[in-house]
Amino acid sequence: MSVYIRATACISPQKTFGSVPFLTAPVAYTGNRLGCVEPDYRDLIDGRLMRRMSRIIKMGVAAASWCLREACAVSSPDAIVTGTAFGCLEDTGVFLSRLIDQQEEMLSPTAFIQSTHNTVGGQIALMLQCHRYNNTFVHRGFSFESALLDGLLLLEENEASNVLVGGLDEITDTSHAIMTRFGLYRRLPVSNFELFAADSKGTLAGEGAAFFLLTNRPSANDYARLEGVTTFYKPADVPAIENRILSFLGSHSIGTGDIDLVITGQNGDEKGDTVYRQLQGTVFKDKVLAPYKHLCGEYPTSTSFALWLAANILKTGTVPEVIDSGGRYLDRRDSGNPGERQNKRRVRRILVYNHHQQVHHSLLLISAMEG
C-alpha cells in the first residue's frame, strides 16, 4: 500500500509557515537557542479558543489548521495523531511554579488542564469537531516516529483514508536552563550556519510544530510518497546501525544506490556526529549527506521538520542551498555550482536518518510522486 503526503505545514525557527518561498532566506541565529518564527494566529485560530492557549498549543493548532487548509479536500481527518516528547512544558512549568510559590494554595486550574500531553491533539479535535481516532505519543526521540507509524497502520487497516500526524515540542526558559546544565548545548555563541564548521561539544536548542496529512489515495497536489518509517533503540555499535539501515532499505526492495539524498540529524555535537561520519565511510559512502538541525535546532521531534523538508524538496524539485552549501558533506564529484546542481540532479528518493542522543535512532523513507 502506498501512503501519500497530501499536505504539510510547519512552524519552525525558519520562515516555513504559510505561503512562503522554500528556505530561500534562511534565518540566522547566534546563541544556542532557536525559537520559532510564529505567525499571526488570529487568522488561524478562533479567538475564543485561543485565549487560554499556550505557545505550543497555538503552534500545533495553527500548523494542523494550515495543513488541512492546504489539503482543501479534507475538512476533517479520519484520525489525529500527535507526537511530543515534552508536551506542554510552559503550562506545566506555570502550574508547578505557582504550586511551589503558593505552597499548594489558591491555585487556578487553567495551566493544569492545558498541561496534559494530549492537549494539542484534543484541541485540534475540538476545533474540527472531529470525533474520530485521536492519540498522542510521548516517547522522547521516538514520539513523532511512533505517531507516523500509528498513522501508517491506520491507513493500512482501512480504519482511515486520511490521517493528520504532527510532531511538536517547545523550549521554555526553564527547560532551556535545565538542559543547559546537562551540557547539551554550545557554551560559546555560534552562528547556526557555522554549527558544523568546527568540532565542539553540544548543539543548539530547537523547537517546532510540523503537521502532515497522509492519505492512501494519490492526488495531483501531493508532496511525496511516504514509503516507511522505522525506529531502533540503543543499537550496540555502528555495524548494528548499518544493519538496520540496510535491512530497512531491503524491506523496501532498494539499496543505498537508490537513495539520492540522505538528510541526517547531525547537530554539531562532536560525539553524536561521529556516528554520521562513520556511516559516511561505509553505508553512506558516495552519498550526499545534508544536515537540517542548523535550521531548526535539536529537539526530540525534530524529524517532523526533516520530513517537512524532504516533502518540500521532492515537491519542488529543489534542494535549498542552506542544507547543501557547507561543502563538507557534499559528494565531491557533484560539487559544481549549487544552482546548476539543483537543475541537473533531480532528487527522487530521500532517506532521513536521525539519532536523538544516540539512544533513539530512526529512518524515514520518502520518494517523489511519479512523473
Partner 1 sequence: MGWKNRPTQELTKRGIDEKRNGGEEEWKKIRVVVRTETGKYKMSKQINSGVFVAGLGVISAIGNDIGETLAAFRSGRPGMGPVSHLDTVHRQIPVAEVKLSNEELALRADDSRGVSRTALLSMIAARAALEDAAIKNQSSLRTGFVSANTVGGMDKSERFLQDFFVDSGRGRLREVVRHECGSITEWVADRLAIRDHITTISTACSSSANALFYGARLIRHGLLDLVVAGGTDALTKFTLNGFNTLMILDPQFCRPFDEDRAGLNLGEGAGYVVLVSERVAESVEVYCRLSGFCNANDAYHQTASSPEGTGSFLAMKGALERGGLQPSAIDYINLHGTGTQNNDIAEATAIKRVFDPRYPPMSSTKSFTGHTLGASGGIEAVFSVLSIRHGIVYPNLRFSKPMNGFSFVPETRFLENQEIRHVLSNSFGFGGNCSSLIFSKL
Q: Alpha helices of the chain — where are they, by DSSP H?
A: 47-50, 55-70, 89-101, 110-113, 119-128, 143-156, 173-181, 238-251, 270-281, 293-296, 303-316, 338-344
Residue type, 318: T
Residue 261: Cβ within 10 Å count: 23
* Three-class secondary structure of residue 247 per DSSP: helix
Q: Which of 20, 28, 72, 178 binds partner 1 (CB under 8 A)?
A: 178
d(CA 103, CA 367): 55
Which residues 238-257 are close enough to bind partner 1 by CB under 8 A? 247-248, 250-253
Q: What phi and psi values does residue 266 have, to the nearest 5 degrees?
A: -50, 135
- Residue 263 cell numbers, joined: 538528510
Q: Is 47 in the site for partner 1 (CB under 8 A)?
A: no
Nearer to partner 1, 34 or 149 (CB): 149
Residue 63 Cβ vs partner 1, minimum distance, rounded to whole Å: 17
Sign of CA dihedral 46, 23, 279, 285: positive
Q: Is 335 in the site for partner 1 (CB under 8 A)?
A: no
d(CA 51, CA 36): 20
Nearer to partner 1, 150 or 324 (CB): 150
Residue 250 Cβ vs partner 1, minimum distance, rounded to whole Å: 8
Q: Which of 19, 40, 42, 103 binds partner 1 (CB under 8 A)?
A: 103
* Distance in Å from the first CA to the final CA of the chain: 19
Q: Is 229 in the site for partner 1 (CB under 8 A)?
A: yes
Q: Is 2 in the site for partner 1 (CB under 8 A)?
A: no
Residue 87 Cβ vs partner 1, minimum distance, rounded to whole Å: 7
* Candidates 78-86, 207-215, 274-282, 315-323; binding stretch for partner 1 (CB under 8 A): 78-86
Q: Which of 50, 99, 238, 330 binds partner 1 (CB under 8 A)?
A: 99
Q: Which of 226, 230, 116 is nearest to 163 (CA)?
A: 226
* Three-class secondary structure of residue 295 per DSSP: helix
* Candidates 9-17, 153-161, 209-217, 332-340; binding stretch for partner 1 (CB under 8 A): 153-161
With beta carbons less than 8 A apart as the criterion, state whether 9 and 210 touch: yes
* Three-class secondary structure of residue 123 per DSSP: helix
DSSP letter, residue 33: B
DSSP letter, residue 37: -
Nearer to partner 1, 198 or 236 (CB): 236
Q: Is 233 in the site for partner 1 (CB under 8 A)?
A: yes
Q: Is 51 in the site for partner 1 (CB under 8 A)?
A: no
Q: How far is CA 291 from the centre of its chain?
A: 13
Q: Which of 14, 54, 136, 266 binds partner 1 (CB under 8 A)?
A: 136
With beta carbons less than 8 A apart as the criterion, state whether 155 and 3 touch: yes
Q: Is 75 in the site for partner 1 (CB under 8 A)?
A: no
Q: Is 358 in the site for partner 1 (CB under 8 A)?
A: no
Residue 177 Cβ vs partner 1, minimum distance, rounded to whole Å: 5
Q: Is 144 in the site for partner 1 (CB under 8 A)?
A: no
Q: Is 237 in the site for partner 1 (CB under 8 A)?
A: no
Which residues 182-211 are close enough to bind partner 1 by CB under 8 A? 182
Nearer to partner 1, 152 or 195 (CB): 152
Residue 74 Cβ vs partner 1, minimum distance, rounded to whole Å: 16
* Candidates 197-205, 228-236, 278-286, 319-327; binding stretch for partner 1 (CB under 8 A): 228-236
Q: Is 302 in the site for partner 1 (CB under 8 A)?
A: no
Residue type, 347: V
